[in-house]
């Protein structure tokens, strides 16, 4: 089995390396890889479902062409086809169910279409938004209030105008800036003092 895995990986890597410089040689190596997998009877039962889908996605099953989306293959998303004519009729209670989709890889060299089911992911429910609570600038920035400024204390509610919120933000930021300036100026000499 190790020898088979080595040969398969060699053919795969060689096909990848030659895909740009020689697409025909790359397709031949890809087809040889597929034939080798079939000859050694490594079918879907010996490979995991994920590995099998990766093999089908990488190379075309008919010509061995390397499937590069937009360059050597075309990808489309289509609704899943129903098998029996009875299932074509959709009852009214099932009308709201989600439509399952397939990804269709169409080889641009031989026009073969490879269909793979797209796993359906359920959308998560959005979290309930909490109501915004009104707060005052006193409780939000108690240490940042300027001492003796002409800034009036104002309450900011959830429906306050944007100008009022901007003014409150600006006041809080100015208080932080003034505090940092006073704290920085009391430290003594700085590098910039020696640079002059």
Answer whether residue 15 shows pLDDT above 70: yes
* Number of structural domains the chain divides into: 2
- Residue 184: which pLDDT band, with cuts at 50, 70 and 90? low
Taking 90 as the threshold, does the pLDDT of residue 28 lie above it? yes
9 touches 36 (CB < 8 A): no
Check whether 191 has a pLDDT greater than 60: yes
Based on the domain organization, do 107 and 24 belong to the same domain?
A: yes
Q: What tokens does 98 get? A: 């989600």
pLDDT digits (tens, 9 = 90+) for 36-57: 887 776 555 666 777 777 777 8
Residues 64 and 152 in one domain: no
pLDDT tens for residues 87-102? 555 554 444 456 678 8
- Better-predicted residue by pLDDT, 112 or 182: 112
To which residue do tokens 């397709």 refer? 27
| Cα→Cα distances 162→92, 156, 159, 165, Å | 48, 10, 9, 5
156 strand-pairing partners: 135
Q: Does 50 lie in the same domain as 23?
A: yes
In the numeric block, which tokens belong to residue 62? 């008919």
Q: What is the pLDDT of residues 140-153, one digit of tens each?
A: 444 544 444 444 44
Q: Are residues 61 and 20 in the same domain?
A: yes
What tokens appear for 186 in the block? 């009391």
Mean pLDDT of the chain: 73
| 89 within domain boundaries | yes
Domain contains 108: yes
> Which of 22-31, 70-79, 137-146, 171-180 is least confident?
137-146
Record the pTM.
Answer: 0.48
Percent of the chain exceeding pLDDT 70 equals: 60
For residues 178 and 183, give the distance between their C-alpha atoms in angstroms, rounded to a whole number: 9
Higher pLDDT, 16 or 182: 16
| Residue with the larger pLDDT of the pair 129 and 38 | 38
**Residue 153: its pLDDT value, please?**
46
Give the domain range for residue 40. Answer: 2-117
The predicted structure's pLDDT at residue 9 = 86
Could you tell me if 164 and 67 lie in one domain? no
């Amino acid at each position: 089995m190790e020898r088979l895995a080595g040969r398969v990986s060699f053919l795969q890597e060689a096909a990848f390396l030659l895909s740009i410089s020689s697409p025909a040689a790359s397709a031949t190596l890809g087809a040889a890889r597929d034939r080798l997998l079939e000859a050694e009877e490594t079918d879907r039962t010996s490979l995991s479902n994920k590995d099998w889908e990766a093999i089908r996605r990488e190379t075309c099953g008919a010509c061995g062409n390397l499937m590069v989306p937009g360059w050597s293959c075309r990808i489309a998303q289509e609704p899943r086809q129903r098998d029996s004519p009875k299932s074509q009729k959709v009852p009214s209670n099932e009308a709201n169910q989600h439509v399952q989709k397939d990804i269709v890889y169409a080889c641009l060299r031989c026009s073969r279409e490879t269909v793979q089911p797209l796993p359906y992911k359920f959308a998560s429910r959005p979290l309930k938004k909490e109501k915004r609570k009104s707060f005052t600038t006193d409780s939000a920035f108690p240490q940042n209030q300027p001492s003796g400024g002409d800034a009036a204390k104002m309450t900011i509610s959830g429906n306050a105008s944007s100008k009022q919120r901007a003014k409150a933000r600006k006041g809080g930021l100015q208080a932080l800036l003034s505090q940092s300036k006073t704290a920085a100026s009391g430290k003594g000499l700085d590098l910039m003092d020696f640079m002059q």
